[in-house]
Structure 1
Amino acid sequence: MHTETERCVRAVQSKDARFDGWFYTAVLTTGIYCRPSCPVVPPKVENMRFHPSAASAQQAGFRACKRCRPDASPGSPQWNERADLVARTMRLIADGVVDTDGVPGLAARLGYSVRQVERQLRAELGAGPLAIARAQRAQTARLLIETTTLPMGEVALAAGFASIRSFNDTVRSVFALTPTELRAKAKPVNTPATTLSVRLPFRAPLTPDNLFGHLVATGVPGVEEWRDGAYRRTLRLPHGPAVVALSPHPDHIAARLALSDLRDLSTAISRCRRLLDLDADPVAVDDQLATDPVLAPLVAKSPGRRVPRTADPEELAVRAVLGQQVSTAAARTHAARLVLEHGEPITDPEGGLTHLFPDPAALVDLDPDRLAMPATRKRTLTTVVRALADGEVDLGAGADWASTRERLLALPGVGPWTVETIAMRALGDPDAFLPTDLGIKAAAAALGLPTGASALTAHAQQWRPWRAYAVQYLWAAMDHAVNRMPVSP
C-alpha cells in the first residue's frame, strides 16, 4: 500500500487508525516516522515519504515518533492473509526464528537460499531479515526498559542484542533517547523480573465474545482456564515454559506474561497475537461479508469477529483429531487425559495451570489401547502424531498452506473437516471453510442458506477470501457456550 501515495496521504490527513501497521509515514523535515493515526498536525505532503515497514523507515535514518509510537502499532494484516514467501518469512521472523537460528536457519525453514529471501524482502519491504529482526528487538527492548527494573545489560541480552554497544546504539537511533532516558520517562514499578504486563493493540472493531468464549469452552484443564476476567494458558517457548493471561479491553488486550526466560518475550507476544488474531483487518473482512444479505445483519450486530487460533499449531492438530465426530466436552476429556499422562509439568505462579500440552515427540510412543475412542480414530491420532514428529507435516509459522493441506489429506483418517480446522486455526488461513461442520450446517439451515456441502461452498464463493471469518459469524448465530463471554468463577 505504501506505493499508493494519494491513498496514504488521505489516511494520514484523516488520522485513520485502520491503516496503522499497513504503512509508515516518514517526515523529511523532522527525521521521524509515524503511524497514519499520529495525533500531531499532519506534515506537508511534499515532506511525506511512505515506508512498508518500521525497519525500512529506520534503515532510511528515521527515528520513531514519541507521540504515536509507531513501533508498537498492530502488525500488518498481510502477513496473516497471504501465503507467499514474504508473508511466510515475516511470520517466522515474528516468531523469533532469526534470533534463535539466524538468517541461514530462516532460509532453511523456507526452503530457499539466503540470497533469495534477502532479495524478496528488500524488494517488497525495503529491508532485509536482519533489519526487520533488529526493529523487533528494539521494540522488545523498549518493553523491557519501560515495564521492568532489570539492569540494562540483562535487558540487552533478553532482547537479543549481541552487545551492550549495539543495544545502546539501536535504542538511541530508533527512539532518539538513551535506554536510561526511556526508563526515566516510563517510571516502571518493581515487579518480578520475568513477569510483565503489556498492552496488545488491535484494529477496531473487535467483538470478543466468540473469541474468548471459544477458547474457554474448548479449553483443556491444566493447560487453559478462565480466571478473573482473563483467559490463561501455558506456552512452550524456545527457552522454557511460560504462562500468559489475556483479558479484553475496549482498545487493547491486556497480557500478563510469566516467562522462564526474558529472551522469549517477543516470541510470546507474537504467539498471543496470532492466538487472538489481533493483526486482522476487520473493516476489510466485514465490508466483504456484508455484501451478502444473509450475513449483513450478523456483521452489523457484532462487527469485528476474529478467528480463535492457537499458540501451538501441533497441539491444535492433535486436538482436531480428538474432536472428530465428538462433542466439545468429550474432546476436552480426551485432551485432558493426554495432558495428565504425557504433558510436561510446569509451575504456575498463580496456581490453576499444571502442564504444557505434550508435543508430538512426547506422544509418539503413546499406547493406543489406553485411548477411549474408536480404533480408526486411534490410528488417525498416532499417524498424525508421527507425521508431526518426523517433520512430514509442517504446521509452523512459515508453513506452505497448500503443501500442508496436501500432506494432511494424504494421511489415513484425516478428512476435509480436520484439514480445514487445522488450516483455519493452526495455519491461520483466512479463507479456510468448514461446510460439513455440524454447527455450520445448523446455522445455515436457520438462516435459509443451503445445507449441502457443495451448495453451501458454492454460495460461500462470495465470501472469499474471508470464509474463515464467515464461519465465526455463522457459529455465533447459534446458542452455544463457544459464542458467549465466559463468567469468572
Structure 2
Amino acid sequence: MHTDTERCVRAVHSKDSRFDGWFFTAVVTTRIYCRPSCPAVPPKVENMTFYPSAAACQQAGFRACKRCRPDTSPGSPEWNARADSVARAMRLIRDGVVDREGVPGLASRLGYSARQIERQLLAELGAGPLALARAQRAQTARLLIETTGLPMAEVAFAAGFSSVRTFNDTVREVFALAPGELRGRAARSAQPPATPGVIALRLPYRAPLNPSNLFGHLAATAVPGVEEWRDGAYRRTLSLRYGHGIVALTPHPDHIACRLSLTDPRDLTLAISRCRWLLDLDADPVAVDEQLSADPLLAPLVRKAPGRRVPRTVDGAEFAVRAVLGQQVSTAAARTHAARLVTAHGLPVADPEGGLTHLFPHPGALAGLDPERLALPRSRRTTLTTLVGALADGSLRLGTDTDWERARAELTALPGFGPWTVEVIAMRALGDPDAFLPTDLGIRRAAGELGLPSTPAALTARAAAWRPWRAYAVQYLWTVDDHPINHLPN
C-alpha cells in the first residue's frame, strides 16, 4: 500500500487508525517517522515519504515519533492472511527466530537460501531480515525498559542484543533517547504493576473488535489447570523457548491489557507474539466485514456485532491434541479429557495470582503414554497416539511458518483425521483465514436457520463468495446458535 501515495496521504490527513501498521509516514524535514493516525499536525505532502515497515524507516535514518510511538502499531494484517514465503518469514521473525537462529536458520525453515529470503523481504518491506529483527529488538527493549526494573545490561540481553553497546546505540538511534531517559519518562507517566516481576503492557488492535466470541470461546473451552477466566481476564500458562510464563489478557475498548509473568525475560518477544496470534489482533476487520456483508444472508450478523476475530492458539501441537480429544464429544467432555492429560503429563507451575497449575504437555511428554489408560474409543486412541508420535519426531510440524496446504495433506494422511478436524486445526492452529467447516453441526444449524444450503458441498459452493475470509464467516455463523462460546463469562 505504501506505493499508493494518494491513498497514504488521505489516510494521514484523516488520521485513520485503520491503516496503522499497513505503512509508515516518514517526514524528510524532521527525520521522524509516524503511524498514519499520529495526532500531530500532518506535514506538507511534499515532505512526506512512505515506507512499508518500521525497519525500513529506521534503515533510512528516521527515528520513531515520541508522540504516536509507531513502533507499537498493530502488525500488518498481510502476514497472517498469506501463506507465501514472505508472510511466513515475517511470522518467524516476529517469533524471534532470527535472534535465536540467525538468517541461515530462518532461510532453512522456509526452504530457501539466505540470499533469496533477503531479496524477497527487501523487495516487499524495504528491509532485510536483520533490519526487521533489529526493529523488533528495539521494541522489546523499550517494553522492558519502561515496564520492568531490570538492570539495563539484563534488558539488553533479554531483548536479544549481542552487547550492551549495541543496545545503547540502537535505542538512541531509534528513539532519540538513551535507555535511562526512556525509563525516566515512563516512570513519570505510568504506575508500576502491583505485583513485582509482572510486565504490564497494552496490545493494540484495529477497531472494531468484538470480544464476545473471542474471549467467550477461549473461556468456554478452557482446560482446567492450563487456562481460566478470572476477574474479567483470560489467563493461561505458556511454554516458551527459555522457560515458561503466565499471561492474563483483559479486553478494553481500545486495547487488550496484557500482564505477563515470565521465568526468563528473553521470552518476552515470543510471549507477546503468541498472545497477539492467539487473539488475532493483527486482523483487518473492516476488510473482512465489508466482504462478508456483501452476502445478504450474512450481512445482518455482521451488522449486529462487527469485528469478530478467529480465536487461535498459543501452540499448534497443543491445539491439534485438543482437537482430537474433542472429536464427536461435548465441550465439557473435551475439557475433561484434556485436563486428565495435563494432570498426568504436564509440568507443574506455581501461580500466586490464580488457579493455574500446569503447562500443557509437549508431544515428547505424551509420546510414551499408555493408550489403554485413555478413556477414549479405541479408534480415537490410535488417532491420538499417531498424532503425538508424528509431532514428537518432527515429521509433522504445526507452527506459524507451516505451509497450510502441506499441513492439510499430512494431517489427512493420519488415521482418524477427517475434514472437520483438519480444517479446525488449519483455522485455529495454522491461522488460515480461509479455513471452513461445512460439516460442523453448529454451521449446519446456522445454515438451516439463515436459508443457506444445508449440505456440505452446496454450502462450500455458496461460501466461495466469502473467500478468503471463510474462517471469519464461521465465527459469525456460530453466533446463530446460543452457545457459551459466543458470550463473555460473567
Q: Which of 331, 335, 342 is the aligned partner of 2:334?
A: 331
Q: Is the 8 A contact 1:259 1:265 kept in 2?
A: yes
| Pair 1:266 & 2:264 matched | no
**Number of the residue aligned with 1:222:** 225
User: 1:122 and 1:245 mapped to 2: Cα distance?
Assistant: 36
**Number of the residue aligned with 2:461:** 458
**Number of the residue aligned with 1:140:** 140
Q: Which of 152, 175, 199 is the aligned partner of 2:202?
A: 199
| TM-score between the two structures when normalised by the length of structure 1 | 0.98
Q: Is the 8 A contact 1:197 1:255 kept in 2?
A: yes
User: 1:199 and 1:70 mapped to 2: Cα distance?
Assistant: 14
Report the CA distance between 1:394 and its aligned residue: 1.4
Letter in 2 for 1:196: I
Letter in 2 for 1:54: A
| Pair 1:51 & 2:51 matched | yes
User: 2:407 and 2:365 mapped to 1: Cα distance?
Assistant: 22
Q: Is the 8 A contact 1:149 1:190 kept in 2?
A: no
**Number of the residue aligned with 2:343:** 340
Give a deviation string over 1:303-343, Cα, whole Å, max 9, x none. Answer: 00000000111100000111111111111111001001111
Give a deviation string over 1:162-205, Cα, whole Å, max 9, x none. Answer: 11111111011101111111111110655566310000000000
User: 2:95 and 2:443 mapped to 1: Cα distance?
Assistant: 32
Letter in 2 for 1:461: A
Gaps of 5+ in 2: none
**Number of the residue aligned with 1:233:** 236
Runs of 4+ in 1 over 4 A off after TM superposition: 188-193
- Residue pairs, 1:170-185, within 5 angstroms: 170-185=170-185
Report the CA distance between 1:228 and its aligned residue: 0.5
- Residue pairs, 1:152-171, within 5 angstroms: 152-171=152-171
Q: Which of 253, 256, 275 is the aligned partner of 2:256?
A: 253
- 3-state SS of 2:29 partner: coil
Letter in 2 for 1:80: N
Give a deviation string over 1:255-285, Cα, whole Å, max 9, x none. Answer: 0000001111111000000000000000000
**Number of the residue aligned with 2:382:** 379
| Pair 1:351 & 2:359 matched | no
**Number of the residue aligned with 1:440:** 443
- 3-state SS of 1:355 partner: coil
**Number of the residue aligned with 2:428:** 425
Letter in 2 for 1:170: T
- 3-state SS of 2:3 partner: coil
Change in Cα spacing, 1:190 to 1:42, as seen in structure 2 (3 Å) is closer
| Pair 1:151 & 2:158 matched | no
User: 2:242 and 2:450 mapped to 1: Cα distance?
Assistant: 48
Report the CA distance between 1:349 and its aligned residue: 2.6
User: 1:96 and 1:333 mapped to 2: Cα distance?
Assistant: 34
**Number of the residue aligned with 1:62:** 62
User: 1:430 and 1:156 mapped to 2: Cα distance?
Assistant: 36
- 3-state SS of 1:49 partner: strand
Letter in 2 for 1:457: T
Give a deviation string over 1:97-143, Cα, whole Å, max 9, x none. Answer: 11121211111111111111111111111111111111001001111
Give a deviation string over 1:273-300, Cα, whole Å, max 9, x none. Answer: 0000000000000000000001101100
Report the CA distance between 1:351 and its aligned residue: 3.3
User: 2:197 and 2:321 mapped to 1: Cα distance?
Assistant: 30
Report the CA distance between 1:403 and its aligned residue: 0.8
**Number of the residue aligned with 1:39:** 39
**Number of the residue aligned with 1:9:** 9
Q: Is the 8 A contact 1:241 1:260 kept in 2?
A: yes
Letter in 1 for 2:462: H
- 3-state SS of 1:43 partner: coil
Q: Is the 8 A contact 1:194 1:261 kept in 2?
A: no
User: 1:141 and 1:193 mapped to 2: Cα distance?
Assistant: 19
Please identify, of 294-303 and 104-113, the stretch whose mean Cα deviation from structure 2 is larger.
104-113
- 3-state SS of 1:10 partner: helix
| Pair 1:472 & 2:475 matched | yes
Q: Is the 8 A contact 1:74 1:279 kept in 2?
A: yes
- 3-state SS of 2:429 partner: helix
Please identify, of 238-247 and 392-401, the stretch whose mean Cα deviation from structure 2 is larger.
392-401
**Number of the residue aligned with 2:76:** 76
Letter in 1 for 2:406: S
What fraction of aligned residue pairs are identical, expressed as a percent?
Answer: 74
Q: Which of 310, 314, 317 is the aligned partner of 1:311?
A: 314
User: 1:238 and 1:286 mapped to 2: Cα distance?
Assistant: 36
Please identify, of 247-256 and 404-413, the stretch whose mean Cα deviation from structure 2 is larger.
404-413
User: 1:151 and 1:344 mapped to 2: Cα distance?
Assistant: 30
- 3-state SS of 1:427 partner: coil
Letter in 2 for 1:184: G
User: 2:55 and 2:87 mapped to 1: Cα distance?
Assistant: 15
Letter in 2 for 1:298: L
Give a deviation string over 1:214-240, Cα, whole Å, max 9, x none. Answer: 001000000000000000000000010
**Number of the residue aligned with 1:96:** 96
Q: Is the 8 A contact 1:313 1:427 kept in 2?
A: yes
- Residue pairs, 1:113-124, within 5 angstroms: 113-124=113-124
User: 1:41 and 1:9 mapped to 2: Cα distance?
Assistant: 13
- 3-state SS of 2:389 partner: helix
User: 1:261 and 1:160 mapped to 2: Cα distance?
Assistant: 12
User: 1:411 and 1:217 mapped to 2: Cα distance?
Assistant: 28
Give a deviation string over 1:395-443, Cα, whole Å, max 9, x none. Answer: 1111111111111111111111011000000000000000000111111
What's the Cα RMSD here? 1.0
Q: Is the 8 A contact 1:313 1:395 kept in 2?
A: yes
User: 1:268 and 1:476 mapped to 2: Cα distance?
Assistant: 30
| TM-score between the two structures when normalised by the length of structure 2 | 0.98
Change in Cα spacing, 1:482 to 1:190, as seen in structure 2 (3 Å) is closer
